[in-house]
Structure 1
Amino acid sequence: MKIVDLSRELYHRTPNYPGHSAIIHGMWKTHEESFADGGKVHGLASMYFAMPDHGGTHIDAPLHFDKRGEGIDQYPLENCIVPGICIDLRHIAPRAEITPADLEAAVEKSGHPVPKGGTVLLCTGHHERTFPRKEYATENSGVNVKATEWLAQKGVVHFGIDSMRPGPEGPENLLVHKACFELGITHIESLCHLETLLGAGPFTFIGLPMKWRGGTASPIRAVAVFGM
C-alpha cells in the first residue's frame, strides 16, 4: 500500500484565504515550564492553535453555500473515503475558467473514467507554481459553473483543487459555490502535490473532517491511497 499526502502543512500564519482570520499556532507551555509547575515530576509540553474552519486543506460543508445546508458535523463520512482520479489541467492559464471541454479532454487523456460516487482532483499546478507567494491568493485557474455541472452529472460527491478556491477569483467563484449546493456536491480546497498523482491511475481518496458543531467547513488530512 502506498499513501500520498495531499495536505498543506499548517504553521503560524500559514497563507490563508483573504478576509478570513489568521492561522495562529504557538507554545502554551514548554517542557521546562511544565516540569517546574508539576513539582519537578512531569515535563509535558503543549501548544495551542486558532484557525478558521476554512484554513489549510479543507472540505466545504453545504452550510457554507446556503443556510439550508448541513454543517460539517452532519456531512456523510461515506463521502470522505471514495474512489478518485487526478487529471492534468496545468496547461490552463492563471485566472482562466476551466470548462467542461477542458475536463472532458483531461479525463480522456488520463485513460480512466470519472468514478461515480467518487472524486476528481484537478491538478492545475497552482500550488506548485505560487505557494507561498502572494500570487497563491489570486492567480488560480478554476472551474466555471458549467464545468461544476459537468462534474456533478458524472456522479461525483465532490471535487478537489490545488488552490484556495474552486473557481477563478471573482463572481464566477461565488456562483460555483452556489452551484455546488444546488447540485448536491461539495469541493475540497488547498490540496497540494497533485502532480505526483498524474499518470498513477485510480486511487482511494481519504479526507475526514473534524466534527465541528455547525461548522461551515473543516480542515482535513487529505491522502490518496494506492493498493488499498
Structure 2
Amino acid sequence: MIQPRSQNSITYTQVIHLSHVIDIDIPQWSGDPIVEFETVAELNNDGYYLRRFSLGEHSATHINAPNSFHSFAVGIDQYPAQSLVVPAVVINICQATAVNPDYALTIADVLAWEEEYGEVYPGRVVLLNTGWQKKWLDKSAFLNHDAQGIPHFPGFGSDATQFLLNERQIAGVGIDTHGVDPGQDNSFAINRLVLEQPRIVLENLTNLDQLPAKGTTLAIAPLRLRGGSGSPVGVLAFIP
C-alpha cells in the first residue's frame, strides 16, 4: 500500500478542478458503456429533482485500480484515504506531441525536467501534460483513430515509467489523454506496471496547463465501488 504522507497540512492560494464535466457525448474507449442520464423525479410532480445515471468505471476522468489488470488484486474501494491526498509534479511534453501524436515520455525527458526543477521526490504522482485536453470536445481528435481503428495519442514510455517507479519511488501517474499507455499499445503495459501495487493511475485529466511544475497537492475522490476496477473521479489540485 502507498504510505501516508508525513506532512499533514496543505498551503494553497488556488484550487483547480482536474476532472472533466461528465456528459452523454464525452469521448469513450471503444466498447465502454455509454453515459446515460434518466430523470426519475421532477420538482413539479415530486417536490424534488433527481436523476439516475449510468457509465463505465473507466469513463470520463477516472482512476484505475489494480484489479482491472491483475487477478485477485485490490479494488478501488480498498484504497486508504491517506493514499488519495498526494503531492504532484507536472512534466510538459506538449512540444513533442504536437509533432508526434504517438510520443512516449522518455528517461531523458524526466532528467531534463529534474535539471530545471530538482529531483522527483518519492511519493509524488507524476502528471503528464500532453496538450490533449484541448481535444476533449472533439471525440474524433481526442481518440485519433487511424483507418485501421487504432488510436494515436501520447503516453508514458516503459523505460521512463520503470525509472520513476524504481529510482524515484513515485506514488503513481496521471495524464490528460484516455490512457497512461500510448494509444497504440493495446497491452496496457504501463497500467500493468504501475498497478502491480495499489498506486495511482489517473486518466482523462484536464487543466494540467494551469498547474506549476511542482508544489501542487492532489485530493482524489473516487466512488467507493465495492470491488471496483476503477471509478470516475473528482480530482482537485491545491496550488501553492
2:51 alignment partner, one of 47, 50, 57: 47
Within the alignment, does 1:178 sit opposite 2:196 as a pair? no
Task: Tell me the alpha carbon deviations over residues 49-107 of structure 1, each in whole angstroms, 9 at most, x when there is no partner.
Answer: 00111111111101111013100001232221011111211122211222121222234
Aligned residues: 217
Within the alignment, does 1:225 sit opposite 2:231 as a pair? no
* Deviation at residue 211 of structure 1 after TM alignment: 0.8
Which segments of 5 or more consecutive residues in structure 1 lack a partner in the other structure? Answer: 35-42
2:182 alignment partner, one of 137, 149, 168: 168
CA contact (8 A) 1:166 1:173 kept: no
* Deviation at residue 182 of structure 1 after TM alignment: 3.4
CA contact (8 A) 2:211 2:239 kept: no
- Secondary structure at 1:177 match in 2: helix
Within the alignment, does 1:152 sit opposite 2:165 as a pair? yes
CA contact (8 A) 1:152 1:185 kept: no
Return the alpha-carbon distance in structure 1 between the equivalents of residues 197 and 160 of structure 2.
12
* Deviation at residue 218 of structure 1 after TM alignment: 1.0
CA separation of 1:72/1:130 partners in 2, compared to 1, >3 Å: closer, same or farther?
closer
The aligned residue for residue 16 of structure 1 is: 28
The aligned residue for residue 37 of structure 1 is: none
| Identical positions, percent | 26
Return the alpha-carbon distance in structure 2 between the equivalents of residues 225 and 166 of structure 1.
22
Return the alpha-carbon distance in structure 1 between the equivalents of residues 88 and 28 of structure 2.
26
Return the alpha-carbon distance in structure 2 between the equivalents of residues 68 and 178 of structure 1.
13
Task: Map residues 60-209 of structure 1 onto 2, 5 A cutoff.
Answer: 60-92=64-96, 93-109=100-116, 111-129=117-135, 131-137=137-143, 138-153=151-166, 154-171=168-185, 174-182=188-196, 185-199=199-213, 201-209=214-222
Which segments of 5 or more consecutive residues in structure 2 lack a partner in the other structure? Answer: 1-12, 144-150
Q: Please, what TM-score do these two structures have when normalized by structure 2?
A: 0.83
AA paired with 1:118? Answer: R
AA paired with 1:155? Answer: Q
Q: Please, what TM-score do these two structures have when normalized by structure 1?
A: 0.87
CA contact (8 A) 2:65 2:195 kept: no
CA contact (8 A) 1:85 1:112 kept: no
Return the alpha-carbon distance in structure 1 between the equivalents of residues 163 and 199 of structure 2.
12
* Deviation at residue 112 of structure 1 after TM alignment: 4.2
